Each structure stands twice: as structure tokens, then as C-alpha cells.
Structure 1
Amino acid sequence: MKNKKWFGLLFFAMFALLLAGCNFNSSEKSDDGTKKSGDEKDGEVAQVLNLSAPADVPTLDSTKAHDAIAFNVLNNVNEGLYRQDESNKSVPALAEKHEMNDDKTVHTFTIRDTTWSNGDPVTAADFEYAWKRVMKENGAYNYMIATAGVKNAEAIMNGEMDAEELGIKATGDNTLEVTLESPNPLFKTLLSFATFLPQNQKFVEEMGDQYALEAENILANGPFKLVSWTQEQGWEMEKNEDYWDTDNVKLEKVNVFVVKDPSSGANLYETGKIDRVKLTSALVDQYKDDKEFENVKDSGIVFLRFNHNNPVLKNVNVRKAINMAIDRNGLTDVILKDGSTPLYGVVAESFYFSPDDKDYRELNGDFNKGTPEEAQEYWEKALAELGQKEVEVSINIADSDEMKKVAEYLQAQLEDNLPGFKLEIKAVPFAQRLEIEKAVEYDLSLSTWGPDYSDPMTYLDMWVKGSSANRMDYHNPKLDALVVAARGETDLEKRYEMLLDIEKILLEEDAAVAPLYQRGSAVLLNEKVKGLVIHPSGADMSYKWAYIEE
């Protein structure tokens, strides 16, 4: 017992030295043991926010970024035409003026007079260059530009047109014209997403393949500037005094530490080194009575991808058996205990409502919900069709504590409830898990999805053929056609029926994935931190309005 205690103290001391070595400021504890955020200077509390992230940022190139951690950084160091406000609504940002023609297919934006962090002006050409670069590079989120309905985006994705023919044009230094295929009710909402950010062409080309891989290799035009980034350790942001709305930014600095071990995160919170921490199930009971504890329902989902090229998993009865063999209540209530809830659809509950204000999840109900006995019926049918008595597959997971626990639970459930089923767990770093998925070099993959914008389509159009978010070679022409039709439908009631039907094809007809749970967060937040905005879609957080209460 003594050895364990001394080892823990030694580990924490080494971690504290590491943070000091990164030159990041940290909070302290007062003499009475209560936490205080930042250091005091001339009797005032420093406006320094300290946070943690579960992994490093793979890239900050907005044309290539495909993960929540990168989106969070980009949201706070960059600014697009629109951004999400404190109420999660998409509002004008760099767009000082937004005008439309009569049929709402031509949108003209007047760009504010503002600069990049290197002093160059932000121009309309920066938007034209960045959006076309997304299409040229076949970026992870090029389909978002098609979802926005930008003219020729679909044809460019299909290889029928060149990226230079995208319907966006700088008609002056501060005037941008965007042409849509047809009126699109989602257009303004989508513009706050990172894919639509501008880029400085000269700077990007100077950096070459090193662009956005180091702090000095990216420019800022948002509320904060990225001033340091130590791989696998963390990054530091400072207030951008040249930001057009800098008077409304109160924080002077934001430090983010990469903390993969949840216990280390809790220790850092206890000692005032960070101001907010997400708790795993092992820590919930310890902190649930703390006055700074809160349970938050998230819009993110966790699900199983099936490799539809796999000779076993391409069998629909195998997929239905796996869906029904998993007790999701046991997973959320016993294993996770963080406010997560069972999920039997791909669209989250409580965030997306029909024109007559009914919850999408309530309208479409549950798919592939069954008992172990029902699962075994599908399993026996599948084995007969395959001519096999046993099945051995592996599951690709990120090496986080949450994913490891979920995978172990799934392994036990599937091997217990499906006779002859064997599951091997392959844990890899988060970024590698994404690369394995993109290459579709897995059997099963334990995947996560956070909505990009506030509409059910953000969970639904990822399954069309060729989408970078598909990542499992699934294809149903009926689903593809319905997504295209829904994108162009301006009758909101008809459109919502289409959105319901897309999920029915995906799950009722094809059982193409296995939804597991809608994420919840058990969080400790320093009571002195105010105005930190948590978004249900797109980037997780905005620091723009946050401040430390004195």
C-alpha cells in the first residue's frame, strides 16, 4: 500500500514538472484548500482558463480536419462568415452584411475589415481559396459543401467537374458571392462549421506539407491565437488583440493539457491545475455529491461500424444479431454511469424536432431492439447462411479509458449471447483509429459521432456512398437518393418525413450500424468559470464569452 502511494505521488510530481516544462500557467489552491482559477495579479484574478483534452490534435488544417479536438481549437482561433453564439444559433461573424437574390440562390457577403495574425488582411479571396481547396484535396468534410447546396459541389465530388467551378467567387476584396443549386434552409446554420473557414493562400503555400502542424504554421483571425503547441502534451492560446470583436473577449489565455488518464485529470482538477474535467464511471461515485458536479446530456453518439466488405459482417442477419445481443442499459447504467443513455437510432434524442415540435427520436422510435433469445434466432440463421459454426472478428477502438471499458463489455455480451462468437480487441491511439477506419481495414470499429450542425441530416447524410464519414463501404442507392431529395426540399414537413425515412432505410432495412448510446457527461467545473459555452453541435466549446469570476 505504501509503495502504491509513493508511486502515485512520484507520478503526479513528474506530471507537474511536465506542465511547468510546457510553460503553461496553472491554477493554485488557496490556503483553505479551495480552488482558485489562475494567479492573482494586483489583487485581481488572472483571466486564464485551464482545460484538458483526451488526445492531441491531428491537424489544424480546416480543409482536412476531421475530429472534435481540432474543430474545438479552430473554432476559437479562427472566424468564418458565421459562428455559433451563446444560444447555439448561427449568427454573422466576419459577414458584416449578408444579402440574397429573390429566389435565395445567390448569397452576397460583405467581409469585415480585419486581419490575420501575420498582419495580412482577411479577404473574400481567402474564402474562395479555402472552399475550393476542400474540394481539390477531397477533404474529410467536402460533403459539407454539397450539403450546403453550393453550386457544382456534388458534380465535383463525383469527378464530373473541376474544383475551380465551385459556386463561390470573390467579386472584390471584401465581397464574396456564393451561388447555390437551389434555396437551402440549412445554409446559414452550416456556415459556422470549420470546413467553411477562410485560409490565407500565400501562407498555406509557403508552409507546404507542414501547414497547420505546428503553432507557428497556422494563422489566426479569431478570438484567440495559438502561441504554442507541444505534441502529445498540450497547447496554449492567447487573446487576439486584432480580432474584430476583441472588446467582448475577456480571457487573456487558455491552456489545454493532453490528459489521457481520467484519474490524472481528476487529480489536476483537485489541485486547481485545470478548471473543468469529465469524469469516467470509476470517478462518478466519488464526486457525485460535489457542489461543482453536474450531469450533462450530450448530442454525440457512440456506435459500432461494420465493415460491409467483410464476408461475415456483410450478412444482415449477423448485424441484426449483434445489435440485439447487447444490453445497452447495463452498458450505460453500470459501466459508464456518466449520464449516457441507451440508443437504438443514429439521431440523438432531445435535440432535433419536427416542424410541429416533436422529437425526432420519439417519432422514429427504436430499431433492432431485442432480447438475447431474439438475437440468437438471427445468429443461428446467419451461421446457416454462412455455413459456419464459429465467427472470429476484431474490434478497432481508440485507447481511451471509456472505449476500453465499452469494448470489454461488448466482448463479454457478444461472446456470452452469441454461441461461437469470438471478439478480439485492438486498441490504438485516437488518430490511428480514424486512419484505420478511413482505410476500412477493420472488422468492427467502435466509433463516435458529434453532430456538425443543428439538424438531423448531420447524422444521416454521412451514410451516402463516397462520404468521408461513411468509412465502412456501405451503400444503398435508395438512401443516397433520399438524401439528395431532402437537401433540395423546401417544404419543411415533407423534408422531415424524408429524414425519418433515411434512418429507417439505414437501420430497419439494412441494420447497417449498431447504435449503442447517446453520450452524457459527468463534469466538474470550477464555480469561478463563467460564460463557457458548450455547443451541442459543431465545435464543443466557445471560449469567446468565458471569464473567471473574481
Structure 2
Amino acid sequence: MKKTLSLLLVLCAALSLLSGCFEDGSGQQFEYDLEAPPSNLDPQLAEDESSLDVVGNIFEGLLVKKADGSIVPGVAKSYQTENGGTRYIFTLRDDATWSNGDPVTAHDFAFAFKRLFSPETRSPYANDFYIISGSRAYMSGQVGLEGLGVKALSNTSLQIDLSHADESFLDLLTTPAAFPCNEKFFNSTKGGYGLTAEALISNGPFSLTTWIKEGEKDDYLVLRQNDKYSSDSPVVAGSVVLNIVPDYEDRLKNFEKGETDCLLYTDHPKSVSEGAVSYQNTTWALVLNQKEPLLSNGNIRRGLVLATDKNAIKDMLPAYQTLAGALVPPDIQMGQQSFRAFAGENLMPTPNAQAAKETYRAGADSFDAAYNAGTSDDDYNSLASQITVLCPDDEASLSYLQNLLQLWQRDLGLFPKVETMSLEDIQSKVYLEDYDIALVPITATQNSAESFLADFYTGSERNLPALSDPVVDSLLQRMEDSTSASERADLCRQAEQAILATNCIIPLYYQPQFFVQGKSVQNIEYNPYFGYIKFKEAIKN
């Protein structure tokens, strides 16, 4: 805290000399606690919440999405559509400039999309943009760059061709994956782009001027107004100090004492509930690794699904959490309507202890038969004894899991081990497929059912259960190729059903996020579907 306080004093002094805190409230300093240090500030790769908080403030795309959902000009001052809405031509601002003085050009956006679809980049967001013509073929090496539907027509004119018209495409362009990348500067970092303050230039309202990495609790970042930034809406905030505070209780105390200006609550903010904005964009689920020997059996997985009666945790959930009857969270839309209202609230089979036992036993018997026939080295009991469930190391998650596992013990005779660890470690193990079963959140990164479900395509970086299901892939491919909004909606509905039919995911409950600003603070914007907080227009009374 002493280091932070000293830093704040230095910054305030510098700001009073350079820009001042004016009578209209502009030029003020804001402070926010990040849970963890950013891992990578490359917009095409940034995925963790801390990285996105920084990226969302130091970069800007062609278009900008406001807190009220409206989309306004960013680097692009205008655009027009052709060919029935399958071609967009964007005209960029003449005064758009990188923080190093280079002009921001259409070539920077074309290079960003080239990187997005490059197999070497391994961007987790590539599949979100497969609507761009030629993108999948380019990523698989079937066509060269000339086949990708993104072209810089001049320094200030960018053309993007789509495989079909889609009203959500403009929304996509407001996300970090579509932010520009200066090719010359990128190459100069020699693989270090986005990993240090020196290996970054920005085109957004702020620049990253300080990034200290001394050890997790002593880390901090400072964002300062980017004096090269041009926009029709001026930057109001003077600077932002981002401290690394891993413990949630410490972040909560800092906010309640007025030391920070906003907070993402993990629980319902009772004391300030009237000022909280909530977004139900996460489904907590048990994810089963079908590549593990026991869980590779469809009857075993189906038995686990039928034995998981979520009513066992219903009375344990706080009022702001609700039992999940499907995979896509309630606040996610399909076009202009709620996807859940369209696709149905409850897609899961009714729990049935007897059916669960019979189905599970059929799977277990197949292992014993193979063992007795000499075609397998392991019988059912030896495989079952090795099953471990990964659980976040908080009391509530463990209580929920223990109640559900009691059902598996009673109805199936399965007694899995439970291993608790940080959610970050669990997510890392799931990504590496080094797990049997894990309790994890599945969070929407866009307010789009199509985007949420596309994550389960074979090979997707965000495909948590690492599904490779031909039925699912076929539905998602047809959804991507369809030019009919009603047909895509129906294919979305079928795709969700097909994903659940693999019995690799058991949805348990929906979790909202709550965002609250300090009582004297206004105009801090939060995008729940990319998890970043924007300070550009922030002001204190």
C-alpha cells in the first residue's frame, strides 16, 4: 500500500502539471484492483480478465460499443454496405494515430485479421470471425492471403467481405480480436508483442506507461491519456492505476473504503444493490473429459448425467444464482430475442436414479467384458478408482459438489476423489486436457448464441470439453453457412441439443456478474461479454 500511495502522489503531481484536474471534472485519476497480472496484451490473444481490462482501454477498433448497447464510430468514421449486406467498406479517420506517431491505417486492420486467422497465432477468437469469407480456408491453408475477405483498398479504406449477411457482424468489430495491429512495430518486438509496456503501442484513449512486475502483490500498471488519440468524444479521465490484488476480500474492502472506483462483485452487492448492474452470462457446469478411458464410454457419461439431480443444491444456491436447465446462459440473445425464450428453458433429461444405474452399469459391464476377454488391461473398478473431480477452492463450490457426488455414490456406486485448487489452475488443466471431471464456469464472450455455441466446434481454442463430434460440427458449419436468420436460429437450437447429447457437459447453475461504481463516480463502462472496464469518459463528482 505504501508503494501504491507513493505512486498515486507522484501521478497526481504529474497530472496537475501536465493536464490538471479541471473544473468540469476531467483529468482525474481512477483506481481499480485487478485479480491477477495481465498475461498478454496482444488483442488477438488477450483472454484473461486482467489483460482485457488493459487492452480495452489502450486500443480501439473500427467501431465502439457503448454501455447502452449502441455502436458508434471508432477509428472508422463511416461505412457502407454492398452486395446485399455481404460487403462492408469502412472509411477511416484521417487523424487516427498510434501512440508512437505512426498513422493508423487500413493496412493495420488487414494485418490484424491476417494474424487472427493465422494458425501460428492460435487466437481463441478466430472461429468467432469465420463469417468473413475465405477465413476458414485461409486458416487451414487451402487458400492464400488473397483468398481472405479482408483488403486494404487504401490507407483509409478497408473492405471486408462476408460469406452471408449477418446483423451481429458490426458488434463483432467492437471486440478486441478486431483491434488493429501495426505490422512494422509488431515485427520489431521479435515475438515479445504485448508482453511488456515497451513492446506495445496503442491507438486507444490511453497508453500503458508503466507495467511493474515485481511479484504478484507488488505489481501495478498505469494508464495515461494518449495524447495522439483522436475521437469525436474526448477522453475525460486523466489516468488509471491498476493494482494487482489477488484476494477478493481485499478488493472488496478497498472498494468499500473508497480506495478504488469500481468493483466486479462475486456475490450480490447487498449494500449497494440499487446501483448494481447485473449480467447473467455464465453457466457453471461439470465438464467430462471423454478422452479419459472410463469417460470415453457414452453409457458411463449418460449415467452420470441422469444421476445428477440439481435439486440437491437448489436450496444451497443464493437468490441470485438459479439452476441451469440448458447450456447457453439466460441473458444471451439470438438476434433481438432471448435465446432461452426461443430454444426452451429446460433441455436436460429428468434425473432418474434407476435409469442412471442401469445405463451406467451397462457401461461398466462393457469394460469388464473387454477385460475378461483379454482385450483391455483395465477392468471397471480399476478405472473408476482413478476418477478425480477438480473443484474451485471456495467453500460454496465444494459444498455444491459434495452434495452432487453423494448422488453418484448412492445411485452409481462411484466414489471419485475431489481435488480443490484455484479456478485458474483448473482452467489450465482443462485446456491441457489433464483432468477427468472439472467444475468450471462457461462464460459468454459475446452477446450471441451463435458465438457461444461455435466455441464447441472441433479444434476451437475455447472448446472446454475438447469436443470433436461430427453432428455438432455439421450443425455449426450449416449455421455458419446459412443466409437465413430463422434457419440459423433453428440450427443454433439443434446445436445446443447436440452438444448436450454428447453428455460431456452437465450444466448446474447460472451465475450473474455484478458491476458497481463508487457513489461519487459516473460513466465507467463495463462490457460483460468481454469482461473489460472502460475508463475513457469516467468522472468523479
- TM-score > 0.5 by shorter chain: yes
What's the secondary structure of 1:110's corresponding residue? strand
C-alpha spacing 1:456/1:207, structure 2 compared with 1 (3 Å): same
Q: After the TM superposition, which of the residue ranges 124-133 and 267-276 deviates more from structure 2?
A: 267-276
Residue 36 of structure 1 corresponds to none
C-alpha distance in structure 1 between counterparts of 2:23 and 2:152, whole Å: 49
C-alpha distance in structure 1 between counterparts of 2:225 and 2:534, whole Å: 13
C-alpha distance in structure 2 between counterparts of 1:433 and 1:128, whole Å: 36
Residue 57 of structure 2 corresponds to 76
C-alpha spacing 1:171/1:73, structure 2 compared with 1 (3 Å): same
Judge conservation of contact 1:325–1:414 (CA < 8 Å) in 2: no
Q: Tell me the CA shift for residue 528 of structure 1.
A: 1.1
Q: After the TM superposition, which of the residue ranges 198-207 and 136-145 deviates more from structure 2?
A: 136-145
C-alpha spacing 1:159/1:307, structure 2 compared with 1 (3 Å): farther
Residue 514 of structure 1 corresponds to 506
C-alpha distance in structure 1 between counterparts of 2:171 and 2:353, whole Å: 44
Deviations, residues 259-290 of structure 1 (Å, cap 9, x unaligned): 22122122212332212334455xx6xx6245
Q: 1:254 aligns with which of 240, 243, 253?
A: 240
Judge conservation of contact 2:390–2:435 (CA < 8 Å) in 1: yes
The TM-score, its normalising length taken from structure 1, stands at 0.83
2:353 is equivalent to residue 373 of structure 1: yes
C-alpha spacing 1:122/1:44, structure 2 compared with 1 (3 Å): closer
C-alpha spacing 1:453/1:314, structure 2 compared with 1 (3 Å): same
List aligned pairs for 1:267-278, cutoff 5 A.
Answer: 267-278=253-264
Judge conservation of contact 1:151–1:166 (CA < 8 Å) in 2: yes
C-alpha distance in structure 1 between counterparts of 2:126 and 2:261, whole Å: 36
C-alpha spacing 1:42/1:194, structure 2 compared with 1 (3 Å): closer
Residue 499 of structure 1 corresponds to 492
C-alpha spacing 1:76/1:298, structure 2 compared with 1 (3 Å): farther
Residue 16 of structure 2 corresponds to none
Judge conservation of contact 1:75–1:539 (CA < 8 Å) in 2: no
Judge conservation of contact 1:326–1:413 (CA < 8 Å) in 2: yes
Aligned-pair Cα RMSD in Å: 3.1
2:464 is equivalent to residue 483 of structure 1: no
C-alpha distance in structure 2 between counterparts of 1:110 and 1:293, whole Å: 39
Residue 202 of structure 2 corresponds to 220
2:77 is equivalent to residue 96 of structure 1: yes
Q: Tell me the CA shift for residue 80 of structure 1.
A: 0.8
Judge conservation of contact 1:26–1:274 (CA < 8 Å) in 2: no
Q: 1:421 aligns with which of 400, 410, 415?
A: 415
C-alpha distance in structure 2 between counterparts of 1:263 and 1:230, whole Å: 23
Deviations, residues 19-64 of structure 1 (Å, cap 9, x unaligned): 336x24699xxxxxxxxxxxx9798877222222222211011222
List aligned pairs for 1:126-165, cutoff 5 A.
Answer: 126-136=108-118, 137-144=120-127, 146-147=129-130, 149-163=131-145, 165=147
- State the one-letter code of the partner of 1:530: Q
2:189 is equivalent to residue 195 of structure 1: no
C-alpha spacing 1:110/1:308, structure 2 compared with 1 (3 Å): same
C-alpha distance in structure 1 between counterparts of 2:496 and 2:205, whole Å: 38
C-alpha spacing 1:482/1:43, structure 2 compared with 1 (3 Å): closer
Q: Tell me the CA shift for residue 310 of structure 1.
A: 0.9
Q: Tell me the CA shift for residue 152 of structure 1.
A: 1.4
List aligned pairs for 1:343-382, cutoff 5 A.
Answer: 343-353=324-334, 357=337, 359-361=339-341, 363-368=343-348, 370-371=350-351, 373=353, 375-382=356-363
C-alpha spacing 1:151/1:251, structure 2 compared with 1 (3 Å): same
C-alpha distance in structure 1 between counterparts of 2:308 and 2:222, whole Å: 41
What's the secondary structure of 1:483's corresponding residue? helix
- State the one-letter code of the partner of 1:534: Y
What's the secondary structure of 2:85's corresponding residue? coil
The TM-score, its normalising length taken from structure 2, stands at 0.84
Q: Which runs of 5+ in 1 are unaligned?
A: 1-15, 28-39
Judge conservation of contact 2:277–2:516 (CA < 8 Å) in 1: no
- State the one-letter code of the partner of 2:348: N
Judge conservation of contact 1:393–1:423 (CA < 8 Å) in 2: yes
Q: 1:265 aligns with which of 240, 251, 260?
A: 251
Q: After the TM superposition, which of the residue ranges 44-53 and 114-123 deviates more from structure 2?
A: 44-53
C-alpha spacing 1:412/1:385, structure 2 compared with 1 (3 Å): farther
C-alpha distance in structure 2 between counterparts of 1:97 and 1:60, whole Å: 28
Residue 51 of structure 1 corresponds to 32
Q: Which runs of 5+ in 2 are unaligned?
A: 12-19, 369-379
Deviations, residues 365-418 of structure 1 (Å, cap 9, x unaligned): 32335447365554444433443244432345666x4xx642453145214533
C-alpha distance in structure 1 between counterparts of 2:31 and 2:532, whole Å: 16
What's the secondary structure of 1:248's corresponding residue? coil
Judge conservation of contact 2:334–2:450 (CA < 8 Å) in 1: no
C-alpha distance in structure 2 between counterparts of 1:506 and 1:484, whole Å: 14
C-alpha spacing 1:156/1:238, structure 2 compared with 1 (3 Å): same
Judge conservation of contact 1:325–1:417 (CA < 8 Å) in 2: yes
- State the one-letter code of the partner of 2:404: Q
Q: Tell me the CA shift for residue 447 of structure 1.
A: 3.1
C-alpha spacing 1:69/1:395, structure 2 compared with 1 (3 Å): farther
Residue 456 of structure 2 corresponds to 463
Judge conservation of contact 1:129–1:201 (CA < 8 Å) in 2: yes
Residue 6 of structure 1 corresponds to none
C-alpha distance in structure 1 between counterparts of 2:260 and 2:367, whole Å: 53
Q: Tell me the CA shift for residue 354 of structure 1.
A: 6.1
- State the one-letter code of the partner of 2:471: K
Q: Tell me the CA shift for residue 359 of structure 1.
A: 4.5
C-alpha distance in structure 1 between counterparts of 2:80 and 2:157, whole Å: 11
C-alpha spacing 1:247/1:521, structure 2 compared with 1 (3 Å): closer
- State the one-letter code of the partner of 1:56: P
Deviations, residues 159-205 of structure 1 (Å, cap 9, x unaligned): 32345642212121111122223333332121111111111111111
Deviations, residues 222-276 of structure 1 (Å, cap 9, x unaligned): 1221222233333221222322227532211222222221221222123322123
Q: Tell me the CA shift for residue 444 of structure 1.
A: 2.3
Judge conservation of contact 2:28–2:237 (CA < 8 Å) in 1: yes
Q: Tell me the CA shift for residue 467 of structure 1.
A: 1.2
Identity %, equivalent residues: 23
C-alpha distance in structure 1 between counterparts of 2:161 and 2:343, whole Å: 34
